[in-house]
Amino acid sequence: MNRRKFLQQAAFAAVAGAGVSGCKRLAAIPQAPPGQPLFKISLAEWSLHRTLQKKQMDHLDFPKVAKLDYGIDAIELVNQFFKDKARDKAYLTEFKNRSHDLGVTVLLIMIDGMGQLGDPDATQRDRAVENHFQWVEAAGFLGCHSIRVNAETGNVGTFEEQQNRAADGLRKLALVARDHHLNVIVENHGHLSSNGKWLSGVMRQVNLPNCGTLPDFGNFYDYDRYQGVAEMMPFAKAVSAKTHDFDKRGEDTLVDYHRMLRIVLNAGYHGYLGIEYEGENIAEAEGIRLSKTLLERVRADFQSIG
C-alpha cells in the first residue's frame, strides 16, 4: 500500500469512527411513539409582538396567520394582546371558531400583568391569585392545556423565603385551575425564576401534578442556559424555543440547538416546542421561518439516527 492510499484509508477510518461515536451519542435520545415526531412545533404569539403592537395585525387573525403564512397548526397566546377580553364570551367564541375552522389548536395563554404570585404581602399575593382566575376560565373555554404565569416575588427576602411565597401563590392557583383541567406553568422570566435550582425547588414544594414549568431557551441572563433547562425539564409541560439572530448556516447565534434539544429529548419530552422569535435584526416573518427551519432540521438530524 502506497503512502497516499494509506493516508486516504486512515482518514476514512477516522471519519467513520467519529460517525459511529456520534451515532451512539445521538441514539441515546428517547424516541417518540411509533408514527409520531420527536416533537411538534407551535407558534408563540410573542413572535409577532411588533406587528401586533403596530396594529399591522389583529389578534383575531393570529390562527390564520400561523396556519396560512407559516404552516403551523398550534398556537400559544399572549394575554396582553386581548387583555380586556378575558370575560368577553362573544370575542372568545369568535377566536375559538376561527381556530377550529382552520384546524388550529390553542395550546396555552401566557399571562402577564396580573400581580405577583409570590408577593411579600399575603393579601396582595391572594389578590394576584384571584386576578388570574379570569384567564383560567378563558383558557379552559378555548381548550388550552395550560396558562403560563410568572413566579414574581418582588425580589424581597432570602432565596428560601421567596421560594415559599411563590409556592404558596402557585399552589392556590393550581388548585383552582385543576377544576378546569388546566395546568399552571412557570417560565424562567427574570429574577429568581431564571435560576433553575430555585424554580425546580418551587415545583417540588408545590408538588401538584398540574403545576409545572415552561423552560425558555432564553431568559437565563447570568445563569447557564443549558443547566437551567435541564433543571426545569423534569417539570416541563411546554417548551419555548427562543431564537434571536441567525448565522449564515441558519443556526441561532446564542443557543446551540442540537445541544439544547438533546437536553429536552433526553428528559422524555415529545410535546410542542413553541417558536418564540425575539430578534431585532431581521423581520419577524423571516425570523419565524428561520426558526421553524432550524427546528425541523435538528429534528430530522435526530430522527435519522433513530
Q: Specify the pLDDT at position 304.
A: 82
Q: What is the mean pLDDT of the chain?
A: 91
In sequence order, what are the residues at sequence separation of 6 or more whose Cβ sits closer than 8 angstroms to the Cβ of residue 283?
none
Task: State percent of the chain over pLDDT 70.
Answer: 91
Ranges of beta strands (E only) in the chain are 40-44, 74-78, 105-110, 146-149, 183-187, 211-214, 239-243, 272-277
Residue 105, classed as helix, strand or coil, is strand
- Sorted by where each starts, the structural domains of the chain and their CATH numbers stand as 40-305 (3.20.20.150)
Residue 116: left (phi > 0), alpha (psi -120 to 50), or beta? beta
Least confident stretch, 19-23, 31-35, 156-160: 19-23
φ, ψ of residue 273 to 5 degrees: the values are: -110, 120
Query: What predicted TM-score, i.e. pTM, was given to this entire model?
Result: 0.90
299 has pLDDT over 50: yes
Under the banding of pLDDT at 50, 70 and 90, the label for residue 28 is: low
What's the average model confidence in pLDDT over 161-189? 98
Q: What integer pLDDT is reported at residue 7 of this predicted model?
A: 36
- Res. 48 pLDDT band, cuts 50 70 90: very high
Mean pLDDT of 221-248: 97
Which secondary structure element, helix H or strand E, spans residue 98, and what is its range?
helix 89-102
Strand partners, 148: 110, 185
In the chain, pLDDT over 90 holds for what percent of residues? 87
| pLDDT range class, residue 134, cuts 50, 70, 90 | very high
pLDDT at 16 over 60: no
